[in-house]
Amino acid sequence: MTVTVVNPATEETIATLDEAGVEEADAAVARAKAAFPGWRDVTPRERGRLLRRLATLVEENGEGLARIESQNVGKPIAGARGEVAMVADVFHFYAGAVDKKHGETIPVAGGVDMTFREPLGVVGLIVPWNFPLNISSWKLGPALACGNTVVLKPAELTPLSALELARLALEAGIPEGVINVVVGKGRIVGQRLVEHPDVAKIGFTGSTEVGRGVMKGAAETIKRVTLELGGKSANIVFADADLDQAAGAAPYAVFDNAGQDCCARSRILVEHSAYDRFAELLIEATRGVTVGDPTDEHTDMGPLISRQHRETVASFVEGEPLFRGDAPDSKGFWYPCTLVEATNDDRVAREEVFGPVAALIPFADEDEAIRIANDTPYGLSGSIWTSNGARALRVARALDTGVVSINSNSSVRVATPFGGFKQSGFGRELGMHGLDGYSEVKNVFYSTEG
């Protein structure tokens, strides 16, 4: 069996790989298990040095990695370069974090009580196709820093950058068996990792539906799980906001990565009194998004990942939208930037579109904005645009969501925790919080009597 890897901008085959099944997944787990004692015992300083070397190799090979990611996912090359730069930063961060996650001493009678953070063992990392390299690094960085060995399963559609990263890890001196990449179907290889008795934890990013299955499957072996799932985030624009700034930024908060972003602010909530003006400005800004060849330095948005996904995205747009942009009519899975007017009960506002479709929804006042924003099963990210500082913080605290930005749409940073509330999942990635999910607390009491 083989995996055919396609460039979504041209529909051309760019690679053909052997497809792994259960046997190969088991072999990868066995390799990771064999490598674990050695990797756990690598001194913190040396582990940090190896991760830093990997970060440096990612930088040195940045252009090649960015081209792989751009070709395989259809990402505009400029954006792909930015993502690879983040991957290097993630490894630099966790290289520095290895010896900074300290235990505690706790006052108790009769001795000294201390805590240690122990690695879990073999961890299975399952990642989606929208940010293959970035999301892999968010899991690999803390997993390796804590002393775990890993089996990484990229999405079948986008395995190429993970394979290249594993090659660079070996070149960096990270021992054989510490990182194992398995290219195969989620419901076979992914499922096997979830059920495998020698896998201690699954770090999963993907859809809420598959995440639910991962959680169920993990229950059998009481596996630890971190779930980074879907989102339906609100971009709340109050009438007192700088409307030019809010409208100018809004397209990139939805259409970046062709809307295939769990953080996409795909519900744009606008206060009634500013609605018409904001809509005009938003249409103008959306008109400025250049959709086309991902290899062109000036392209803002590329194609969707697959033909099937394009059909799903198209199914959300009924009738004539408020605005529809341009997209190439050549080969490739193109879909234009699309703005629709909606209520929060419409399907386009309830379900994750995962494509370049944004829904404009009016609201009357602060209470209604909060109510609408929270009226979703998801809780990943969101934005608040206002010039009233007290309101900004009030609303930020009231939103049931893991990551919020004020007068900004950016919510992902290497040093800060990222993750969801509600059905967007649980556990945090990035920053020092990311280490919690890849280590176990051990408590040791040492008697000082006798």
Choosing from 262, 313, 340, 414, the residue that interacts with ligand NDP (CB under 6 A) is 262
According to CB under 6 A, which residues from 335 to 354 bind ligand NDP? 352, 354
Choosing from 50, 218, 229, 282, the residue that interacts with ligand NDP (CB under 6 A) is 229
Contact between 187 and ligand NDP (CB under 6 A)? yes
Give the count of beta carbons closer than 10 Å to the beta carbon of residue 124.
34
Catalytic residue among 228, 271, 352, 429: 228
Residue in the structure block whose two tokens are 């703005």? 339
List CB contacts of 229: < 8 A, sequence separation 6 or more.
205, 206, 207, 208, 211, 262, 378, 380, 420, 423, 424, 425
Nearer to ligand NDP, 166 or 369 (CB): 166
d(CA 121, CA 272): 54
Give the count of beta carbons closer than 10 Å to the beta carbon of residue 209.
10
* Structure-derived torsion over alpha carbons of residues 28, 30, 32, 35, reported in degrees to the nearest 10: -140
Catalytic residue among 156, 164, 262, 429: 262
Choosing from 93, 129, 275, 363, the residue that interacts with ligand NDP (CB under 6 A) is 129
Choosing from 74, 79, 121, 128, the residue that interacts with ligand NDP (CB under 6 A) is 128
**Minimum CB–partner distance for residue 348 and ligand NDP (Å):** 15
The CA–CA distances, whole Å, from 400 to 270, 372, 389 equal: 19, 11, 19
According to CB under 6 A, which residues from 18 to 57 bind ligand NDP? none
Contact between 243 and ligand NDP (CB under 6 A)? no
- Pick the stretch among 86-94, 129-137, 289-297, 320-328 that binds ligand NDP (CB under 6 A): 129-137
**Minimum CB–partner distance for residue 407 and ligand NDP (Å):** 23
Nearest to 73 by CA among 132, 137, 148: 132
Determine phi and psi for 171, rounding to 5 degrees: -60, -30
Choosing from 76, 206, 355, 437, the residue that interacts with ligand NDP (CB under 6 A) is 206
Give the count of beta carbons closer than 10 Å to the beta carbon of residue 70.
25
Residue, CB closest to ligand NDP? 186
Choosing from 87, 95, 144, 194, the residue that interacts with ligand NDP (CB under 6 A) is 194
**Minimum CB–partner distance for residue 418 and ligand NDP (Å):** 7
Count of residues in contact with ligand NDP, rule CB under 6 A = 32
Tell me, yes or no, if 171 is annotated catalytic: no
3-state helix, strand, coil in the chain (%, to 5): 40, 20, 35
Tell me, yes or no, if 262 is annotated catalytic: yes
271 burial level (CB within 10 Å; 0-12, 13-18, 19+): buried
**Is the separation of the CB atoms in 227 and 386 below 8 Å?**
no
Choosing from 44, 96, 175, 213, the residue that interacts with ligand NDP (CB under 6 A) is 213
Contact between 180 and ligand NDP (CB under 6 A)? no
User: Which positions lie near ligand NDP, rule CB under 6 A?
Assistant: 126-130, 135, 153, 155-156, 185-187, 190-191, 194, 205-207, 210, 213-214, 228-231, 262, 352, 354, 380, 420, 424-425
Give catalytic residues, as residue numbers: 228, 262
